[in-house]
């Protein structure tokens, strides 16, 4: 992708991925789900997960899987509120960028822009 992904957008994407499963999901699956949208290495993901956990947007728990512990991440109430804010901001931001790319000016009709 030619566009850089800033930390706020990365946080929003990770929160959205984790929020899909109310029971929580684990790091490798999060990485794969995020990679379906943007290129991301595990070395980039884990600091994001730690930051979101530190900010109380995610909580963790461990479960046995094939004889070893697997760390799961689950969105918190605070994380849900942050995700709602990110979604709202994204819709506003992306619609403005799209209008610029498509050549529409705010306040003018589609006919004025032809």
CA separation, residue 111 to residues 103, 105, 114 (Å): 11, 11, 6
Report the chain's mean pLDDT, rounded to a whole number: 89
Angle at 109 between CA 107 and CA 110, to 5 degrees: 130
pLDDT digits (tens, 9 = 90+) for 19-51: 999 899 999 999 999 999 898 888 889 999 999
Domain 7-100 fold is Arc Repressor Mutant, subunit A (1.10.10)
Please give the pLDDT value at position 108: 54
């Amino acid at each position: 992708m030619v566009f850089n992904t800033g930390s706020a957008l990365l946080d929003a994407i990770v929160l959205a991925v984790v929020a899909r499963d109310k029971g929580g999901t684990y790091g490798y699956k999060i990485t794969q789900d995020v990679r379906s949208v943007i290129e991301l290495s595990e070395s980039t993901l884990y600091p994001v997960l730690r930051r979101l956990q530190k900010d109380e947007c995610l909580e963790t728990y461990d479960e046995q899987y094939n004889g070893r512990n697997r760390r799961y991440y689950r969105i918190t109430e605070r994380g849900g509120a942050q995700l709602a804010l990110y979604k709202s901001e994204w819709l506003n931001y992306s619609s403005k960028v799209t209008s610029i790319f498509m050549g529409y000016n705010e306040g003018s009709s589609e006919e004025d822009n032809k």
